[in-house]
Amino acid sequence: IVIPRNVKLAESPSFGKPIILYDIKSPGSVAYQNLAYSILG
């Protein structure tokens, strides 16, 4: 799984939020969710 770079991933730490709470539909967030699902089953 490739985690794409995007502005939302860079911005989320500045707002003190994980990407999943900052923008759940951003490509980076979706990629991290897919990674978690593939690891956890």
Residue 2 lies in a domain: no
**Structural domain that includes position 30:** 7-40
Give the pLDDT of residue 30.
97
> Is 26 part of a structural domain of the chain?
yes
In this prediction, residue 38 carries a pLDDT of: 97
Task: Give the pLDDT of the chain (41 residues) as one tens digit per residue.
Answer: 899 999 999 999 999 999 999 999 999 999 999 999 999 98
**b or e along 4-41 (b: 16 or more beta carbons within 10 Å of the residue's beta carbon)?**
eeeebbeebeeeeeebeebbeebebbbbbeeeeeeeee
User: How many folded domains does the chain comprise?
Assistant: 1
